[in-house]
Amino acid sequence: MDERLTMQAPAPAAVTAVTANPLLDFSGLPRFAEFDPALVTPAIDDLLAHARATLAAVTDLATPTTWDAFVEPLEDATERLGRAWGVVGHLNGVADTPPLREAYNA
Within the chain, what is the greatest distance between any pair of CA atoms?
Answer: 48
What's the pLDDT at 12?
Answer: 55
d(CA 5, CA 3): 5
Q: Where are the domains of the chain?
A: 37-106
d(CA 18, CA 25): 8
pLDDT exceeds 80 at position 95: yes
What's the pLDDT at 99?
Answer: 96
11: left (phi over 0), alpha (psi -120 to 50) or beta: beta
For 14-30, write each residue's pLDDT tens digit. Answer: 444 447 899 999 999 99
Q: Are 68 and 4 a contacting pair, CB within 8 Å?
A: yes
For 49-59, write each residue's pLDDT tens digit. Answer: 999 999 999 99
